[in-house]
Structure 1
């Protein structure tokens, strides 16, 4: 349900109720226009609270990188906070925070997203700041060296020193053999270290251009005034002149299981499974999303009840469909309970999936599942920041921002039979990647025995 690439993030939410009801989605009204330079602009008015969200969605992620220069998109997520020709180094965050605003950014395989949430009387300031990022970003040797160290520290904290932190990297390089999804957004530090300043400049001039972006403003705004400011600050930015690389290669569907062992700084072994998934815009993505919630979305989910609580084979089981633009992965992570063999845990997970394939889902569980979906959609669009992101992603991935108003309708079209069907079709052992995460202490013992 959450369409961002945060591995095993907070995807699952509590139940609203147990009645099998098809809910109507509140319409998100908006206005949109396109500047002469190609920048798509979407505005949503909500005067409930005196705040406004400004976001820029750049259609560039790790899949757009040169295989010899991976990590550029994620690196730029950091680099473009360095400042601009008119904003001093390190002043970008301070300026937004000084007016009572918050800001952040994230990078995925498919996109880079920047946003600020500010008091609405500072909307013009936020628009100016984002226009500076697009037009006059400070890209020099000082900033590059500074952010290289930042990215190195992030990798140490989130991957090297984080239990199971390498899962995405280890899965992707085995699951994709021809498509550039084969490397994670963090990329290679070696590539970043040897890259020249001119290469960074070229990446910026290619992808961080108005005709590769969507600007979304949501909240306590006046449509006419907002459009006037947008034209003032973004209208002068020239179109990009470089060709924007979009991968055209199609990853062949795997038809053989790939198995491997990863030794990590962990105490408890784990099982990771990754199955083929279709493109993000495939209608089955909604059923697969619901399937992940049914299997491992919270305390009442199938795998939690059966494998964690009843069998006590695992301390936690998680599932997440990584619904990437060109075809993603359906991921499982099961962390074994103390003393439980990793093969035994894998067998228990597989048994529950096979039962679902054979027997389907009960009426009661399906009613609970639909309630979870309703709550998730409503919660995601309960803030102006959430609405801004939903509008931008609908515009880019579906070609129409109004798709945001059809999301719940698409979930409501999913039937019990669809849940069973997608489990049978996509959770195919013949095409999956299976990784056993084992403590490095086990590797040492195995080495001594040889």
Structure 2
């Protein structure tokens, strides 16, 4: 089975180059289907903000759909839909990603839309006010009124006291309300520039023709000053931290344990992803089988590696069943972690998790948008190594059972973590 998976992981061929204005271009030609993904990844996220002016990067995810000198307000998405395409954007702590997926005969339109966003955006008071209300509504839906919506924010505030990962990408509504128009305009001029961006295109294109079109649409975008960013170093966590959060939107409490771990470019980050697969991926995983099936102590249990550029956060969590005490859930999770730290996982489990991770890789690259994003990620977050997308399966196969045990010992120690009690709000 594993050898079969290896053969399925096809190498992604690509061409890449830098334009004179600093825009990095990645092209993947695939004539399998008559579709093309046009994407731009800007290396700007909430970590590029400052205290008192948070939420700017996520705000621009919305604001740059407002319109341009050549696209009327509210028309951007209508143009995409009218030409058989789909589009969206998303923001993390580290980057903002915009994309369109079109029938390949609309390739030029995709290039024009993204060049307009980069070269001619209209950033005015009307757009800022309109999108401010949109962001506020999003925060109400996804954070303020969503069960456990503040979990990640509460975790990051504790484990990143100095680093700008301290605040969530959606930021502070008060900060956005108080910001002047000139501050939004300055943020755009600093970060949404060609030398801080990757144009990644995948699908039914002709490489030589695409290069000419890209020069036509993006060549006039002026180069900006190099982006200056210095990673804020956090002191190691040397004793267990404990905090409690109350949420009026929940009825069941939750307990979580979080460990600060290396960033996504570290090999250990991939090992920690494998550990989360062992512990909680599917009904046969260690935590699910023990806490949900066998002991019936938890309604839900899980773990995941929240991998970011500068650091990561390895998070375990559980919701109780039958009034099981939260400390009992934590103890049971810890017992499974100790097993990983003490014993090598079985050969069967080892092959299983390798297959699962490679299957995920293959599934992502089965769509042109997934290929475009993976190529951009490789360049942006792996020391300009676009080929990382082809090296990932090899990296997965290179991780040994001993590596898994050693990473569990190195990072998942009680003295290195935050234990968070996430409880229903008390009646006033």
RMSD: 1.3
Q: CA deviation at 1:338?
A: 3.7
Judge conservation of contact 1:64–1:245 (CA < 8 Å) in 2. no
Indicate if the aligned counterparts of 2:55 and 2:172 stay in contact, CA closer than 8 A.
yes
Pairing 1:253–2:236 present: yes
Q: Note the alpha carbon deviations across 1:197-220, whole angstroms, 9 max, x for none.
A: 000000000000000000011100
Q: Look up the match of 1:190.
A: 174
Matched, 1:439 2:413: no
**Where does residue 223 of structure 1 map in the other structure?**
207
Match of 1:422 in 2: 407
Asked whether the 8 Å contact 1:281–1:397 carries over to 2, the reply is yes
Q: 1:279 Cα shift?
A: 2.1
1:354 aligns with 2:338: yes
**1 CA distance for matches of 2:50 and 2:246?**
29
Q: Per-residue CA shift, 1:378-424, capped at 9, x if unaligned?
A: 00111100000000000111111111111100000011111111111
- Is 1:112 aligned to residue 96 of structure 2? yes
Whether the 8 Å CA contact 1:62–1:74 is kept in 2: the answer is yes
Correspondence for 1:312 among 279, 296, 315: 296
TM-score (norm 1): 0.92
Map of 2:386 onto structure 1: 401
**3-state DSSP class of the match of 1:340?**
coil
Q: Secondary structure at the match of 2:238?
A: coil
Could you state the TM-score of these two structures normalised by the residue count of structure 2? Answer: 0.97
1:335 Cα deviation from its structure 2 partner? 1.5
Query: Which range moved further: 332-341 or 395-404?
Result: 332-341
Look up the match of 1:372.
Answer: 356
Instruction: State yes or no: 1:32 paired with 2:37.
Output: no
Q: Which segments of 5 or more consecutive residues in structure 1 lack a partner in the other structure?
A: 1-16
Structure 1, residues 169-195: CA drift from partner, whole Å, max 9, x if none? Answer: 101110111111111111111100100
Three-state SS of the structure 2 residue aligned to 1:216 is strand
> Secondary structure, in 3 states, of the residue corresponding to 1:405?
helix
2:118 matched to 1:102?
no
1:248, CA displacement in angstroms?
A: 2.8
Find 2:77's aligned residue among 93, 96, 99. 93
> CA 1:22 to 1:417, structure 2 compared with 1: closer, same or farther past 3 Å?
farther
Q: Cα deviation per residue 1:117-139 (whole Å; 9 max; x = unaligned)?
A: 00000000010000000011111
Deviations 1:75-110, CA, capped at 9 Å, x for gaps: 000111101110010100110011110111110010
Q: How many residues align?
A: 425
What is the rounded CA distance, in whole Å, between the counterparts of 1:53 and 1:152 in structure 2? 30
- Aligned residue for 2:367? 383
Note the C-alpha offset of 1:360.
Answer: 2.9
Asked if 1:214 is matched to 2:198, the reply is yes
Pairing 1:126–2:110 present = yes
Give the conservation status (yes or no) of the 8 Å contact 1:22–1:412: no
Distance 1:310 1:62 in 2: 42
User: Which of 285, 306, 310 is matched with 1:326 structurally?
Assistant: 310
Asked if 1:263 is matched to 2:246, the reply is yes
Confirm or deny: 8 A CA contact 1:268 1:338 kept in the other structure. Answer: no
Could you tell me which of 254, 261, 264 is aligned with 1:280? 264
> How far apart are the structure 2 equivalents of 1:337 and 1:104?
38
Match of 1:23, SS state, is helix
Q: Which stretch shows the higher mean deviation, 408-417 or 360-369?
A: 360-369
Shift of 1:26: 1.1
Over 2 Å off, 4+ runs: 19-22
The alignment status of 1:72 with 2:82, answered yes or no, reads no
Partner of 2:154: 170
Kindly state the Cα deviation for residue 20 of structure 1 after the two structures are TM-superposed: 7.6
Indicate if the aligned counterparts of 1:180 and 1:247 stay in contact, CA closer than 8 A. no
- 1:236 maps to what in 2? 220
Structure 2: gaps of 5 or more residues: none
SS at match of 1:374: helix
